[in-house]
Structure 1
Amino acid sequence: MNEYVPFILQILLIIIALAIVLHKENFTIIILISAFSLVAATLYAINQAPDVAIAEVAIGSAIIPLIYVISISRQREFIVLDRVDHDRHDLDDINEALYEVMSDFVQTYDLRLNICSDIKGTDEDLTSELNVDLIISYDETKQSFVLKGKSSSVLMKHLTEKTSGHAFIEVITLEEGESID
């Protein structure tokens, strides 16, 4: 019976690996990655490698999933830079309508709205280096809000669709430059 345990654990590793690849929910994938590490650590212990098993449990089942959870939780935030001078413009009615559209948008996609102001820099630098998702400004000539974001962002495509019926909102996508990555 003992000779079948490693074989069963190896089959279990294959099943867990397939589940990781095929699953869609991020947090379930993280749990599966932890389970994979625990099964792998058990196989290391069976094969007389307790030091590797302990390292696998510590890193693969604890630290790596924690890093994933932190990364995923930060992705659920929609960072908006508000560059509108609210004291200079009398925008109470359309300003309220804009923020109602924004609130509805973040609720639809289960995001947290994080609105910042007074951050200096070019639009391209802010969206690429500081990871700002959206920059709001006001165009006095058109009497409309201008929303700028990355052209590669899926959320910008959804925001463009969501705001298409509002005459006081214009969405502009910023092309991204060459990446050094």
Structure 2
Amino acid sequence: MTNIIPTILQVLLIIIALAIVFHKENFTIIILIASFGLIAATLYALNQAPDVAIAEVAIGSAIIPLIYVISISRQREFIVLDRVNHDQHDLDEMNEEIYKVMTNFVNDYDLRLNICSDIQGSAEELTKELNVDLIISYNEELKKFEFKGKSSSILMKRLKEMTKDYTYIRVIALKEGESID
């Protein structure tokens, strides 16, 4: 009877590992990872390794899932740096349209819009160092709003596709310090 319990737990570990690999929902995967750690800790305890079991509970069931939760919650946020001078009265109507475009975009992809302003630095540095997803500015010469973001971002490609019919919006992809039109 005592050999059956570890065998059942090992089979359960294999099933959970397969579920982690093939499951699509991020938060369910986190629960499965924590469960995997608890079952592994139980197996360590049954094999007279309580120190390893305690470490597995602390790391595999507490710290790692917490890190995953933090990183997944960051994925759901779309950080926009607004560098437009909103005091220009001729831009009022277009400002409203830009806000509607951004709101529709984040709603379509189930994101949370986080708009910041007054952060100094080049567009390349901000997208690389501060994880800013999009920088909005207004080009006086072209009379267009410029949306600047990482060329590697799938969201930038989708935003470019979504705004192609807006004549007053120009999407610029930034790649390693250079802009690519």
Q: TM-score, normalized by length of structure 1?
A: 0.94
Mapped partners of 1:154, 1:47: distance in 2: 47
Mapped partners of 1:125, 1:88: distance in 2: 27
Letter in 2 for 1:34: A
Mapped partners of 1:78, 1:64: distance in 2: 24
SS of alignment partner, residue 101 of structure 2: helix
**What stretches of structure 1 of length at least 5 have no aligned partner?**
none
1:142 is displaced (CA, Å) by 2.1
Mapped partners of 2:30, 2:45: distance in 1: 23
Map of 1:121 onto structure 2 = 121
Mapped partners of 2:31, 2:157: distance in 1: 31
Mapped partners of 2:176, 2:150: distance in 1: 7
Q: Per-residue CA shift, 1:10-32, capped at 9, x if unaligned?
A: 11111111111111111011000
Mapped partners of 2:129, 2:30: distance in 1: 27
In the alignment of these two chains, the number of paired residues is 177
- Identity among equivalent positions (%) equals 73
RMSD of aligned alpha carbons: 1.2
Q: Per-residue CA shift, 1:65-115, capped at 9, x if unaligned?
A: 112111211221111111111114521111100110000000111111111
- Structure 1 runs of 4+ aligned residues shifted over 6 Å read none
**What stretches of structure 2 of length at least 5 have no aligned partner?**
none
Map of 1:130 onto structure 2 = 130
SS of alignment partner, residue 92 of structure 1: helix
Letter in 2 for 1:102: M
Letter in 2 for 1:72: I
Q: TM-score, normalized by length of structure 2?
A: 0.94
